[in-house]
Amino acid sequence: MDTKAEVERRLRMRIPPALWSEAEHEGLVGALEAAVDAEEECEALAELRRFFTRRMQPKARVGSVYSTSALASALVALQARAVSRVLPIVEQGDMLYPLRVLREQYLQGAFIPVEQVSDWLVQHLHDGKLLPSLTLTIDPEAESRVLEAIRSGQPVVLEPCEIVNHQQPLCREFLRYRDTTYAVRYDGALHCLYQAVQDLVLVCGWRECDAVEFALCNRVPDGLPIGVEVEWSLASGLSFISVRVPLYMQPDEVAQVYAQVRRAQKRKARYKGISEFTARFVRFVEEYRLQHPRAKWKEIIAEWNRQHPNEAISEKRAQNLITHYPRILYTIAKQVEIEARG
């Protein structure tokens, strides 16, 4: 008798060969074949059903891809400049206040080069205080006995009735940058950076590493992360890709992200109402203004032409861009607005 075919018929399910081999390795198939009566056979089949059902549940892996499209790049530059503008007026308790404290207290207004970020994190690794492992509140009547035992170096034994309250240890916080994870102590430089990074991730939707570099180096991220979930099922033999994209993304860009997930070649994209060139120009202007807040248009256009000699902007085109620049920003903002309302 073909045991596999019989089990598939009895359980009414198709069993992948690899999963059947696992069941054999676990001894579940042998238990069925060794059953001496109907009761043992039913128990063995029930165990096989539980094994196959558990292993054939759809599984998923959640991650993200990084969109560096012209529009995403322009958007993060707008975000970075907006954060920079609001930072001087945020107060204690406000979102982004830890970023202000970090830059004023620990950086003292001087940003560090990106290549020195890892060294800075290591340098401040032991700043601050260790989190307590456990906090106990004891009955006042037991306090003198406990203190005396501690002073004399004797072990302290507490009865349950002498413990008035206890506080579980706080979850440790970790900061991740590139391939390294840094344990965060309480009330130190890394703790301040950790809080600033969490705020930037929440407010702007940036990657953690991008938020770290913006906080310490004032570096504008290159793009935005796009949520991806890859799901596969042994039962159906199929895999699925779910891409969580912002509603402002145009269909052709969604196709690019999907292709990126599958490691295919990305195609260039144009966006309704704003060309790729214009989006890149907005990125350049906002990033330049972030570094040079008092810069005039003449200086900005001259710097663009210096950095992009093959796309130099003529005087007539520059005047057109300057005239319509508020409208361009409005167009970008409207593409994003639908996501916030949705």
Strands 224-233 and 180-184: unpaired
For residue 67, what are its two tokens? 């969109």
Burial 89-121 (b: 16+ CB within 10 A, else e): ebeeeeebbbbbbbbeebbeeeeeeeeebeebb
Q: What pLDDT is attached to residue 341?
A: 34
pLDDT, greater one: 243 or 220: 220
* Percentage of the chain lying above the pLDDT 90 cut: 40
DSSP 3-state of 251: helix
Contact call for residues 183 and 130 (beta carbons, < 8 A): no
Question: Where does the pLDDT of residue 18 fall: very low under 50, low under 70, confident under 90, or very high at 90 and above?
Answer: confident
pLDDT digits (tens, 9 = 90+) for 49-63: 888 887 776 666 666
- Between 106-120, 121-135, 193-207, the lowest mean confidence (pLDDT) is in 121-135
Question: Where does the pLDDT of residue 340 fall: very low under 50, low under 70, confident under 90, or very high at 90 and above?
Answer: very low
Question: Where does the pLDDT of residue 102 fall: very low under 50, low under 70, confident under 90, or very high at 90 and above?
Answer: very high
pLDDT digits (tens, 9 = 90+) for 261-297: 765 333 333 345 578 899 999 999 999 999 999 999 9
DSSP 274: B
List the one residue out of 278, 269, 276 whose CA is nearest residue 325: 278
Mean pLDDT of the chain: 83
List the one residue out of 340, 329, 311 whose CA is nearest residue 75: 329
